[in-house]
Chain A
Amino acid sequence: GAGVSQSPSNKVTEKGKDVELRCDPISGHTALYWYRQSLGQGLEFLIYFQGNSAPDKSGLPSDRFSAERTGGSVSTLTIQRTQQEDSAVYLCASSLPSSSYEQYFGPGTRLTVT
């Protein structure tokens, strides 16, 4: 079956522009996670969606970051007024709600802010 897909795979944007990153989770996975990996850092939790529950946004670094998940499936992470420190690989993962330890990751979107 299809795994988690993310688009675009690479994105170069100018400082101050808005960007949207997309994630298609595995069908049937109601849990969806966004992470960020900056150079030399571990995976940093950003946001968690589970079904129709309110998302856990506690990892979002600033109010320039937002995410939504439409119809319990596809998710979009939006970064407004991008800054150079936003440059990172953004990873999306999905899982069954009872198996949050076994998250299936997409290949990531490499964002470069110039």
Chain B
Amino acid sequence: DQQVKQNSPSLSVQEGRISILNCDYTNSMFDYFLWYKKYPAEGPTFLISISSIKDKNEDGRFTVFLNKSAKHLSLHIVPSQPGDSAVYFCAASGGTSGTYKYIFGTGTRLKVLA
């Protein structure tokens, strides 16, 4: 039972364009959402988060959008850079999962083409 789904295993984008990574969840009790980035042979690193009381959070080139009614969140990277090439995981917590137990998606591999 996958509560957090990233249906696109990979995405290729031209340098300078917008990258949009999508994530869907099934548990309406989730109230905090994260995006992590992972380079090969390294552990994931925290990128950006959003609480369910907001619908948008911005940090430089990265913006996360949350659509609670659709149980959908997305990460926008503008402009995309070759160094953004990595695997991106979304994660969610809340409800019976507690505040520290995050449910992660399977990841989307982003490739930014120079």
0 or 1 for each of B79-100: is its CB under 8 Å from A? (1 = yes): 0000000000101010000111
B102-A45 in contact (CB<8A): yes
Known A-B contacts A31-B100, A101-B34; the reply to A40 vs B44 at CB < 8 A is no
7 closest A-B pairs by CB: A105-B43, A100-B100, A43-B104, A42-B104, A42-B106, A102-B46, A105-B44
- Asked if residues B89 and A100 are in contact (CB atoms below 8 Å), the reply is no
CB distance from B38 to the nearest CB of A (A): 8
Can you give 16 A-B contacts (C-beta < 8 A)? Answer: A33-B100, A35-B104, A40-B106, A42-B89, A42-B103, A42-B106, A43-B44, A44-B104, A45-B103, A48-B100, A48-B101, A101-B46, A104-B45, A105-B42, A105-B43, A105-B44
Find residues 22-72 in chain B having any chain A CB closer than 8 Å to their own CB.
32, 34, 41-46, 49
Considering the complex, give the chain A residue whose CB is closest to the CB of B5.
A42
Give the number of residues in B that approach A within 8 Å (Cβ atoms).
Answer: 25
CB pair A4–B89 under 8 Å, yes or no, is no
- Rounded to whole angstroms, the CA-CA distance of A45 and B44 in the bound complex is 14
Measured between alpha carbons, how far is A31 from B32 in the docked complex, in Å? 18
Q: Please list the residues of chain A having a beta carbon within 8 angstroms of any beta carbon in chain B.
A: 4, 31, 33, 35, 40-45, 48, 50, 56, 58-59, 91, 93, 100-108
- Residues of B at the A interface (CB closer than 8 Å) are 2, 4, 6, 32, 34, 41-46, 49, 89, 91, 93, 98-107
Do residues A100 and B107 form an inter-chain contact, with CB atoms below 8 A? Answer: no
Q: How far is the CA of A103 from the CA of B46 in the complex (A)?
A: 7
- A50 with B100: CB separation less than 8 A: yes
Chain A: minimal CB distance from B69 (Å)? 23
